[in-house]
Amino acid sequence: MKIIIIGVGEYYKRYKSYISDDDIVAIADNDIAKQGSIVDGFTVLSVEMAIRKKYDKILILTRLFNEITSQLLSLGVDANDILYHYEVSQLTRTNNVKKRVLVISDEFKLSGAQIALERMIEILNKNGYKVTVASNGDGLLRELIWENRISIIIDSELSIKSLKDLKWTQDFDLIIVNTAVPYHLLMNRDIEIPVMWWIHECEEGYRYVLDRDLKKIDTRNLFIFCVSNTAKRAFVKRLPNINPKLLPVGIPDLCYQRETVNSKYRFVMIGEVCTLKGHDLIVDAINKLYEEEKRKCEFIFAGRKENNFTQIKKDLEKIPCVTLLGEISSAEVDKLLATADVLICASRMESLSMVVVEAMSHNVPAIISSEAGIVDYITDGDTALVFQSENVDALTEKIRWCINNKEEAAQIGYKSNSIYRTYFGMNVFEKNVLNILREIQ
């Protein structure tokens, strides 16, 4: 049913939850000050403009219903097409049936892509979708999802079968697949069910993907989004006829207020301790600092032990100003960033770098590799410090500059916060996700 709503005041706030967004074709108000503003993704129109659209019913959500009724009748609206707030139950047919959404995560580990997905799940749940989350194996992410009492399915066959082979996946109105890794799920599916595919991988991530099989995927009713231009370039390299849209991640504003000043200048590195993240480059850069500079600083590494961690660990343990924390929770990451003076992201490949965005939310300046996708959003020397990937001398100089220019570095951190709020705030992410779902369905 196509509905026009008139009124965006208290009555609107009270009754809007009874109406499906899919049914709304326009929102209007007689208050000129409100016209042109955005309410729940709709531009508020004048009543005269709104009724030019095709509609089935007009719902008046204001105390001035007699006045609005007279106005509508004078404009030629049929009285039978006008409804009032106490008749809203007539419009809840589609809203009473919650849309069933299946969200598939390749893993339940606490990596950037999975944490980003968990935030999308919160938005879906908050906005009335009936969400089920599935994965091929267990992990720490499951605990975060379960806190919201969201249904969880762990099925090892998600690793080897397609959606069509997994009959239980046919009971949903929408399927969201996270990351490129479970691409095999899409190779045989019911194209009547829309699928949203959220790609996070940079070039390195495609070592788990067969390009020839990607080309076999039926793209009808398949909606593809990438977290950054870096991720998009890697995907389009394999499927040049596809033009994915961008859907950056959302980061909550959970910043802890700093209560103490560090006795030493604190650099933090957060992420898997491995060569892909450039931790060996950071080791070399620290070793190039003067002894006097090292004594002024502390370098804290937090993250899982991966691949060639043993050698990196040995190298780090030789440096007195280094602390290794191992894997920490999201809440602990937030607390650590609240104590940081500088974040270093030295990744050789990084589709975006969520931890850099998290640092921006804390007003923490970042030293970033030129290969991190987040560089598309920043200005070197103004909102972050960028060094050429693999260039240890350049990284050393950025670290040294921060040590010797603490106030200037802090100003870079404060400026970077505007990037977080403009592109990655949760309110921005929620609006983007809901607009996409409205388009898909």
State the residue for tokens 């709020």.
421
Q: Model confidence over 223-250: pLDDT tens digits?
A: 999 999 999 999 999 999 999 999 999 9
- Pairing type for strands 195-199 and 222-226 reads parallel
pLDDT over 80 (residue 97): no
Q: How far apart are the first and last CA of the chain?
A: 14
Which residue carries 């008139």 as its tokens? 6
For residues 6-12, give the mean pLDDT: 89
Distance CA 176, CA 157 (A): 17
Band of residue 328 on the pLDDT scale cut at 50, 70, 90: confident
| Mean pLDDT (whole number) for 252-257 | 67
Residue 44: the pLDDT is 94
- Going by pLDDT thresholds of 50, 70 and 90, the confidence category of residue 256 is low
Determine the pLDDT at residue 144. 77
pLDDT in the model for residue 257 = 62
| pLDDT given at position 96 | 44
The model's pLDDT over 277-318, given as tens digits with 9 standing for 90+, comes to 899 999 999 999 999 999 999 999 998 765 555 677 778 888
Q: What is the pLDDT of residue 93?
A: 46
Span 30-34, average pLDDT: 93
Question: Which residue's structure tokens are 């070039």?
Answer: 203
Query: What integer best gives the mean pLDDT of the chain?
Result: 89
Domain 3-95 has CATH 3.50.50.60: no
Mean pLDDT over residues 25-46, rounded? 91
Listed in order, the ranges of the chain carrying CATH 3.40.50.720 are: 3-95
- In this prediction, what percent of the chain has a pLDDT beyond 90? 64
Bridge partner residues of 93 (DSSP): none
Q: Is pLDDT above 60 for 92?
A: no
Which of residues 411 and 316 earns the better pLDDT score?
411
In the chain, which residues fall in CATH 3.40.50.2000? 98-250+425-440, 265-424
* pLDDT tens digits, one per residue of 331-361: 888 889 999 999 999 999 999 998 999 999 9
Domain 265-424 fold: Rossmann fold (3.40.50)
- Looking at residue 431, its pLDDT comes to 93
pLDDT, tens digit (0-9, with 9 covering 90-100), for 64-76: 889 999 999 999 9
What is the fold of 98-250+425-440?
Rossmann fold (3.40.50)
Q: Which of 83-87, 125-129, 255-259, 397-401 has the highest mean pLDDT?
A: 397-401
pLDDT tens-digit map of 354-368: 899 999 999 999 999
pLDDT at 403 over 80: yes
